[in-house]
Amino acid sequence: MDRISKETRSRIMSRIRAKNTSPELKLRKALWHAGLRGYRIHYKLVGKPDIVFTKSRLAIFVDGDYWHGYLWTKKKKIPPRKYWQAKIKGNMERDKKYTRQLKKDGWKVLRFWEHEVNKNTDRVVDKILAAIY
Rounded distance, CA 103 to CA 4, Å? Answer: 41
pLDDT value at residue 74: 64
Query: 81 pLDDT exceeds 90?
Result: no
Q: Does domain 18-132 have CATH number 3.40.960.10?
A: yes
Query: 84 pLDDT exceeds 80?
Result: no
Residues in the chain: 133
**Segment 53-63, tens digit of pLDDT:** 999 999 999 99
Q: Where are the chain's structural domains?
A: 18-132
Say what the pTM is.
Answer: 0.81
Rounded distance, CA 124 to CA 131, Å? Answer: 11
Rounded distance, CA 62 to CA 111, Å? Answer: 6
Rounded distance, CA 121 to CA 6, Å? Answer: 38
Rounded distance, CA 52 to CA 68, Å? Answer: 20
pLDDT value at residue 11: 67
